[in-house]
Amino acid sequence: MFRRRSTATQDAPDEGAPGASASGQADHPASVTAGKGRPTPKRSEAERRRRYNAPGDRKEALRQTRTRDRSARARKSEAMRRGEEWALPAKDKGPVRALARDLVDSRRRVSEFYMYGLIVLLFLLFLHNPVIQTVLPLLLVAMVLIMIIEGYFVGRKVTALANERFPGESTRGIKMYSAMRALQIRQLRFPKPRVKPGATV
């Protein structure tokens, strides 16, 4: 009898073990959260994801693309006006071209007012005055001679200075480049002048 009771006592934990295990398993998941299977994103990455709005359709995607392209063109155009090397066209790139622009912009020349003179000449053409009609061709020839002479001297000066400061750099076409810039109205020059008249280059 005592043997049977002790056997029952020893068997009781075995019979209760599955229940205890089941209850333990039932209680355990309540305190442990299942893993997401991926690392938690950083705060900066999560913010970037929130800021990005995926286009809802093709039309919206096209609109966003056009907006980005328009902004990029505006930034590049402004950089070109400032004379930043990365944004300049091939004809304006290089230290020799930059030197030519600065040298031309550092002096006031008669050629700079050539466009204003043309406007005056065009106005005088409509005046049927014999004296004006006689003087007008002479004024036009004088303006052309002044442009040629100034362009020649500024081209020589730029070439000499470029050979001195940037030996080995190509100066091909630099004379014409300098002369054409000298003909432009200062406010309309592109890239815009970096130096003021009278500055030392």
User: For residue 23, what pLDDT is reported?
Assistant: 43
Three-state SS string across the chain, please?
Answer: CHHHHHHHHHHHHHHHHHHHHHHHHHHHHHCCCCCCCCCCCCHHHHHHHHHCCCCCCHHHHHHHHHHHHHHHHHHHHHHHHHCCHHHCCHHHCCHHHHHHHHHHHCCCCHHHHHHHHHHHHHHHHCCCCHHHHHHHHHHHHHHHHHHHHHHHHHHHHHHHHHHHHCCCCCCCCHHHHHHHHHHCCHHHCCCCCCCCCCCCC
User: For residue 16, what pLDDT is reported?
Assistant: 45
User: For residue 12, what pLDDT is reported?
Assistant: 44
User: For residue 83, what pLDDT is reported?
Assistant: 82
Q: Hey, where are the domains in the chain?
A: 54-87, 90-188
User: For residue 106, what pLDDT is reported?
Assistant: 95
What are the average pLDDT values for consecutive 10-residue runs of the chain, which has 201 residues?
46 45 44 54 55 66 85 86 87 94 94 89 87 90 94 96 94 95 92 92 88
User: For residue 28, what pLDDT is reported?
Assistant: 46
